[in-house]
Every structure is written in structure tokens, then in C-alpha cells.
Chains A and B, each alone.
Chain A
Amino acid sequence: MIISVKKQYDPLTNTFSSYELIEENQLVKSVPLNEANRDYQAIQEWAKIEGNNIIDNGA
């Protein structure tokens, strides 16, 4: 189960480049921006649910 999702910015280019995903077991994952990735798909579905927000602290 997803606990939180935060945008990650590449420190070299300052561009949005992946998601930090934290799951119920506190495992921290870095998810690529690739539609074929299972975790990416899960984040998109999670974000559709009212009350779930992707954190964006900027570069």
C-alpha cells in the first residue's frame, strides 16, 4: 500500500525525473517515469483517488 509519493528532481539538470515512493513497510523506492513500470502505473492510479496528493517540493 502506498503511503506517500514525492517528485524527484535530477540534481544535475533540475528536471523532474522520477518519483520517490514510500510503501506501508517503509520501503523507499525510486520509480522511473516510464508507463511500462508497474510502480509508475500504481502511482497514477493512487493519485486519482481523492485525498491522495503527490508532493512537489521543486528542484
Chain B
Amino acid sequence: MALTRLPVANAIPDDSIANVKMANIVQSKNIIINGDMQIAQRGTSTASVTGDGYKTVDRFINEMSSAGTWTLSQDTDVPSGYGFSSSLKYDCTTANGSLSAGSWGFISQRFEGQNLQYLNYGTSSAQKLTLSFWVKSVKTGTYIVEMVSFATTKSQSQSYTISSASTWEKKTITFTGDTATAIANSNARSFNLNFWLVAGTTYTSGTLNTSYNTTTNANRAVGQVNLADSTSNNFWITGIQLEAGDTASEFEFLPVDVNLFRCQRYYFKTQDGVGTANALLMTGGVESSTSAGQGSLTLPTEMRTDPTLSFGSGVRFYSTGSSTVTPTIATNRSTSSNLSAAVTISSGSNGQAGYCYQGAASGNIIGDAEL
């Protein structure tokens, strides 16, 4: 048979590479972002943690009250042979062996409702969700993982057991779908996935609620061990995947640029240069008076909403004909597609070009649109 030369060049559209990349993002089966703990824009370790907040790896928020003191870090301890390079580590540095009733602590990821519409909640076709993850803990026993609907105040909890101390174990848990209540189709926080670590009797005194019901605190974390009861307690987790259906598939590894891109919808931080690298951060100029400058940078992806803006201590402003000054934010003019600010400066000339740059260590600019 004669071979026919295919007109390959004509068959492949010019934008095909971009389409393949976008298809990879759109078709991602994992609802969790950064489930392999690869991205840590805020930093790789935070010590003396006692309360709420995003502390280290992207998209995972620490929720905590009266539950000891912890160091949270991006760690290299991972299950061997499964392709992971990072985990999220909780290291108890001050114990709390006598929890108050209202003590609580968990690792959480929050989801936008518009990303969950395909689950068909609120219909008879509501899909199940299957969670899989790798976990290692010094403390064995029962742990609770929970799905919480923020908008409808309904929740569902499931338990898992850590059988062997200080040993990586893979866990798989399936949550039923909610046939009664739809998920609002918006960019607002709709669901949380919570990995409980510490729970006082307020959350443990009832019967574990294993299907979607209006949240009763006493039924949320029944049986949860107290991970805060010793400074010897360390806890690691990685490879978190939450997918539609009742079967756990292999963890979906994404290229680091795609992973970072997904995280930057919620948090964006310019990279610190080497020392005082004078890296350009925002371009702009001096407007309206000698004391107000303005600058802007275009974000790599649309953020979830208009972001909170902050400057690191090393950000400087320079305008033609004036000396370098340390700017403070006069107002936040950012949108979901760019970071922009009017800044107060000590000197400048109206109409002159100017820019913000990294003039010292921690010269970074942060946009925060987390859930």
C-alpha cells in the first residue's frame, strides 16, 4: 500500500498547544488544588501557630482554637515510590492535653460553588465524592474528615484510622451526594473539606453524622484523637484528591506551572529577587500631586475576586528626578486581573514616570483573593 503524506502542518491549529494546556486544566478530575503540596508561595514554614490562617502550602488553611501551638511546614517526608516530593507537616511544639470543650483544629480547603456544579447537588443525580490521601502520624487512632456546606450549613463526616505510628498510609473515603440542596453557582465559598486534628467535647459528644444533614456541632468529630496532647506529635499529609464518583483513581500530578497557575487564582506573590535585586514590580508614575504615586502590574491569571493588596517591607518607589522612597498604599485600585495602587510617597513631581521595585529584602507585592 502506498503511504500518503498527511498535511500535518495544516491539520494542527496554531493555538493547539495552548488548547492542550487549557484542556488539562479544565478536565482536571481533582477538586483539590495543590493536593501534592508542591506550591508554597507564602513560605515553607511558619512557627508558633495557634490560630486560623493560610500559613504555608497554598490553598490549605489552618483552622484552630485552644489546640496547642504548632509549626506548619512544607516537608520532604513523603510516601516512597509514589511520585510525591512534598507534604504538609504539623509539628506540635506546645501541647494541650486538657482540651476545653470548644477546642478545635483542622486543615481545610475551601471551594468555589461554580467549580462544583457538575456534581448535580440538589437533584436525584447528585454525585458521590471520593477522597483519597496519604497520611502519616506519630499518634494512631481515629481521625475525622468532614465536608461542610458553608452556604447551607449542612455537613457530613467520615472517620478513618491511622493504624501504625509514623508510617505512611493511604486512605480512601466516599461521601454521599446531597440530593436535597443545590450548590450556589458563584465565586463564593460553598464547601470546605476539613481534616480534623483536635476536637473538644463540643464536637465529639454526639453521634458521628455520616450523611448530609444540618450541622450539629456535637456530631461533627466524634472519636477524633487529640493530636495536640504531646509535643512528640507530628502529622504529615499529601496526595489529597477529591473526585466525583465512588472510586479513587491514581493521583493526578500536574506540571508545576499549571499547579502554580491554579493557586494564583487565590493568592499571588511576586518572587523575592536575590538580595536587593532591584527587580521591577509595578510601573506607573506620579499623579495629581507631589505626594501620590501610582503603579500597576498585570496578573498571570484572573483572581477569584478583587484582591487584598499588601507590600513587603523592601518595596521602593522611584520617579524621575526624585530620590528613592518607601511607599505606603494610599488606596487599593486592584481588580481581579491586575494589582494596582495609589501610593503615598514623600517626594515626587506630578506627571513624572515612576515605578515600584524591590529595593531590599522582602520587596514583594501580594494579592490575596483567598476563600
In the complex, per-residue mask of B273-313: 1 if CB is within 8 Å of any chain A CB, else 0: 00000000000000111011000000000001111111100
- Knowing A12-B288, A12-B292, A37-B369 touch, does A18 contact B331 (C-beta < 8 A)? yes
Contact among A11, A20, A30, A39 with B292 in the assembled complex (CB-CB below 8 Å): A11
Contacts of A1 in B (CB 8 A): 51
Interface size bucket, B side?
20 to 34
In the complex, A36 has a CB within 8 A of chain B: yes
Contact B371 A30 (CB under 8 A): no
**Is A57's CB within 8 Å of the partner chain B?**
no
Q: Are B287 and A12 in contact (CB under 8 A)?
A: yes
A37 touches B305 (CB 8 A): yes
With a CB–CB cut-off of 8 A, which chain B residues contact A28?
Answer: 310-311, 328-329
Contact of B329 with A20 in the complex, beta carbons under 8 Å: yes
B334/A32 in contact, CB under 8 A? yes
Q: Which residue in chain B gives the minimum CB-CB distance to A16? A: B331
B331-360: CB near A (< 8 Å → 1, else 0) gives: 111100000011010000000000000000
Chain B min CB distance to A20 (Å): 7
Q: Is the CB of A38 within 8 A of B370?
A: yes
Given the known inter-chain contacts A10-B331, A17-B333, A31-B332, please indicate yes or no for A37 contacting B306, CB distance below 8 A. Answer: yes
Give Cα A31 to B367, complex, Å: 10
Shortest Cβ distance from residue A18 to the other chain B in the assembled complex, whole angstroms: 4
Say whether B330 contacts A32, CB under 8 Å.
no
User: With a CB–CB cut-off of 8 A, which chain B residues contact A11?
Assistant: 287-289, 291-292, 330-331, 342, 344
A18 to B343, CA, bound (A): 13
With A1-B51, A17-B333 in contact, do A32 and B308 touch (Cβ < 8 Å)?
yes
Chain B residues near A34: list those with CB within 8 A.
Answer: 305-306
B309/A30 in contact, CB under 8 A: yes
Chain A, Cβ-Cβ closest to B342: A11
Given the complex, which residues of B lie within 8 Å of A29, measured CB to CB?
308-310, 368
Those 8 A-B pairs whose CB atoms lie nearest each other, nearest first: A30-B332, A36-B305, A32-B306, A18-B332, A11-B292, A34-B306, A30-B329, A17-B331
Given contacts A8-B329, A36-B187, 12 further A-B contacts (CB under 8 A): A8-B332, A11-B289, A11-B291, A11-B342, A18-B332, A29-B309, A30-B308, A32-B308, A32-B332, A37-B305, A38-B370, A39-B368
